[in-house]
Structure 1
Amino acid sequence: MSCSYRSNKKKKTHDPIFHNESVNMLANRILKHGKKSLAYKIVYLALKKIKQNTKKNALYVLHRAIKKVTPNIITKTRYMGRKTHRIPTEVGSLQGKALAIRWLLKASKQRPDRNMALQLSFELVDAAKGYGKSIRKKEETHRIAETNKAFAIYH
């Protein structure tokens, strides 16, 4: 008899200090060459810098930044005949969160400072306030989806 009653959902994991899923996702995205302790060290140092600079709860700033950067809609490329169309599609909550974290890290790596924790902390604070490269990336994605709204019927 098959075990069809079991779901294939992954078990949600949390980081060791804050017991937060978002911090764990951020650390897993930073991860290089399997050095998870180094990734956690970067994230925790960034959260500490946020707390020092803003005098606010660092987890609140992190969640606010992720929420502001999370896109509602993205475009997917489809080939129809000889033409390529960008079709706007809605984004699920987990996929949107993953995109937001990816954009936050990419924008933080483009900052001029050498220290990754400082770069990440500044980008998170900027995103929580509503500006920065990651916010511009979200707005650009929404703008592209809006211009290609005519192709939504092919979805």
Structure 2
Amino acid sequence: MGKITASATSLKPDPRYRSILAGKFINCLMYSGKKSVAQVLFYAALDYIKEKIPDREPIEVFHTALENVKPYIEVRSRRVGGAAYQVPMQVNRNRQQSLAIRWLLAACREKKGRPMYLKLADELIAAYNKEGVAFTKRENVHRMADANKAFAHFAW
């Protein structure tokens, strides 16, 4: 059973950029209900991105990075006749978004020794440039789905 989250209808956009996606990202970044701390981290990361990529708006970099990390196909386990097969299946839009956010935050959290806003900014810039840990995770998922294409007929 996964985490209980608020429904999409009750999501509020973030105060600075008025982006619902940024608001969702801040909610996922938040620990122990400390939303103001998560907002400070997110906006500090976007300010750092603005320094590094001055010709692009930081919220555009954020949206593009999330688009680059979204998986379009994944493998899911299916039991057929006593055997378990890894079956490639399409990913719906909500799951794509949540996986992308989860992979970006996991990539930031596994790095040690630097402030979180710097790790988050570096990972967003790397995802924007189609590189980094989160993008590699997406590529691995796509590669695994491609390798298991022979079991696609088990999808239902």
Whether the TM-score (by the shorter chain) exceeds 0.5 is yes
The unaligned stretches of length 5 or more in structure 1 are 1-7
Instruction: Count how many residue pairs are aligned between Structure 1 and Structure 2.
Output: 148
**2 CA distance for matches of 1:122 and 1:36?**
21
Name the structure 2 match of 1:89: 89
What SS is found at the alignment partner of 2:89?
Answer: strand
CA positional deviation for 1:26: 1.1
What SS is found at the alignment partner of 1:60?
Answer: helix
Letter in 2 for 1:99: L
Deviation >4 Å, runs of 4+: none
CA positional deviation for 1:11: 4.0
Name the structure 2 match of 1:33: 32
Check conservation: 1:27, 1:43, Cα contact below 8 A: yes
CA positional deviation for 1:118: 0.4
Name the structure 2 match of 1:3: none
Q: Tell me, yes or no, if structure 1 residue 10 matches structure 2 residue 15.
A: no
Check conservation: 2:11, 2:24, Cα contact below 8 A: no
Structure 1 length as normaliser, TM-score?
0.89
**1 CA distance for matches of 2:63 and 2:11?**
17
Matches within 5 A, 1:67-82: 67-82=67-82
What SS is found at the alignment partner of 1:135?
Answer: helix
Cα RMSD of the aligned pairs, angstroms, is 1.5
The unaligned stretches of length 5 or more in structure 2 are 1-6
CA positional deviation for 1:110: 2.4
What SS is found at the alignment partner of 2:111?
Answer: coil
Name the structure 1 match of 2:4: none
Q: Tell me, yes or no, if structure 1 residue 52 matches structure 2 residue 51.
A: yes
> Which structure has the greater CA radius of gyration?
1
**1 CA distance for matches of 2:9 and 2:150?**
36
Q: Tell me, yes or no, if structure 1 residue 144 matches structure 2 residue 144.
A: yes
CA positional deviation for 1:121: 0.1
